Amino acid sequence: MLSDRLAWPLLLHVIIALNASTFIVYGYDKACAIIKARRVPERVLQFFAFAGGPIGAIAAMQIFRHKTRKVGFQFVLAVLILLELAIVYAVLTPLVER
């Protein structure tokens, strides 16, 4: 079916855009931290990661060495990523099985 063939590439592009956006926001927050400017709230960073950008969040944390010492932040982020994976699995499993 045509719509099925178009849905997966669109989903892939959305996931790439969400992860790129998350990466940029984490990088912006790191830059703000360096120059002592107003920061992005941790809740916003965690929301971006949960809203589809966990790969971007993890990559930015490693590349920018940002939020890597904050155990509490990392714990919440890990829980949010696991929750997101569970939701994605629950939503996509029935779609793949049909």
pLDDT of residue 3: 62
pLDDT of residue 2: 46
pLDDT of residue 91: 82
Residue 70, classed as helix, strand or coil, is coil
21 by Cβ neighbours in 10 Å (0-12 / 13-18 / 19+) ranks as middle
Give the residue extent of every domain in the chain. 2-97
Give the tens place of pLDDT for each residue, 15-62: 999 999 999 999 999 999 999 999 999 999 999 999 989 999 999 999
Do 80 and 50 meet the contact criterion of CB atoms below 8 Å apart?
yes
pLDDT of residue 98: 64
Give the tens place of pLDDT for each residue, 63-72: 999 999 999 9
